[in-house]
């Protein structure tokens, strides 16, 4: 470092040198790929709490809304069976329905 007679100027130059060295070090540490967030598996209850389920009964069958998606069933029995499967295993059934809606 160059010795400067002006102490405030000398401090400013020293601070710039530290900043440059620090920047160079941080550039070496810079991550170029996104770091995935740690995946903490959700409990069954947490998965079920993610979406509201509504049933609209029709003259024949019904429409089941899960979140913003809607599925028409020709019979109420078929709809109840699908809802029961979802409640029993929300992770697997959620993956199944996401695949059906091309959301995978």
Using one digit for the tens of pLDDT, what is the confidence trace for 6-46? 666 666 666 667 677 777 776 777 766 666 777 889 999 99
Domain ranges within the chain, ordered by starting residue: 1-35, 44-100
Pairing state between β 69-73 and 62-66: antiparallel
Q: What is the pLDDT of residues 42-91, one digit of tens each?
A: 999 999 999 999 999 999 999 999 999 999 999 999 999 999 999 999 99
- Tell me the pLDDT band of 2, cut-offs 50, 70 and 90: low
Whole-number Å distance between alpha carbons of 55 and 44:
21
């Amino acid at each position: 470092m160059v010795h400067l007679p002006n102490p405030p100027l000398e401090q400013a130059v020293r601070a710039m040198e530290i900043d440059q060295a620090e920047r160079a070090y941080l550039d070496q540490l810079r991550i170029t790929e996104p770091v995935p967030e740690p995946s903490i598996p959700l409990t069954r209850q947490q998965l079920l709490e993610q979406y509201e389920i509504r049933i609209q009964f029709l003259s024949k069958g019904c429409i089941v809304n899960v979140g913003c998606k809607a599925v028409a069933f020709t019979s109420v029995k078929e709809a109840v069976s699908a809802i029961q499967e979802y409640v029993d295993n929300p992770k697997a059934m959620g993956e199944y329905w996401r695949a059906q809606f091309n959301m995978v």
